[in-house]
A = this chain, B = another copy of it.
């Protein structure tokens, strides 16, 4: 079993999220073919119906296109991808900040802390 899922949110949306990230990361390029529903079902160890639903979800976001008889493909529409990229980025940031607020950290602490972290990271890799 390569993949495991948490019990909290529905599997189909967790799976959609993973594929999303693969596309964002460039692991899946525009025009690339996704594995067939059956194949993906085996790979992810879930029911084909679940994969079906995942693909439908991604299609609703215009991130993939289904061509009958051929399979499911990453959209070639770059605009949608960059848009999604931007949206997901903001979402992640929002979630991060919310979490930090929740633990009582102030804006400045977060900002300064992040910059410091990135600086140190840069310093490390230049060594």
Contact = CB atoms under 8 A, between A and B. Distances in A.
Contacts of A96: 92, 96, 114
A21 B122 CA distance: 30
A110 interface: yes
A93 B92 CA distance: 12
Interface in A85-127: 85, 88-90, 92-94, 96-97, 99-100, 102-105, 107, 109-111, 113-115, 117-118, 121-122
Contacts of A103: 21, 24-25, 88-89, 92
B113 A25 contact: no
For the complex formed by this chain, how many copies does it contain in all?
Answer: 4
B118 A89 contact: no
Contacts of A21: 102-103
Given A6-B6, A110-B118, A114-B111, A100 B92 contact: yes
Interface of A: 6-8, 21, 24-26, 60, 85, 88-90, 92-94, 96-97, 99-100, 102-105, 107, 109-111, 113-115, 117-118, 121-122
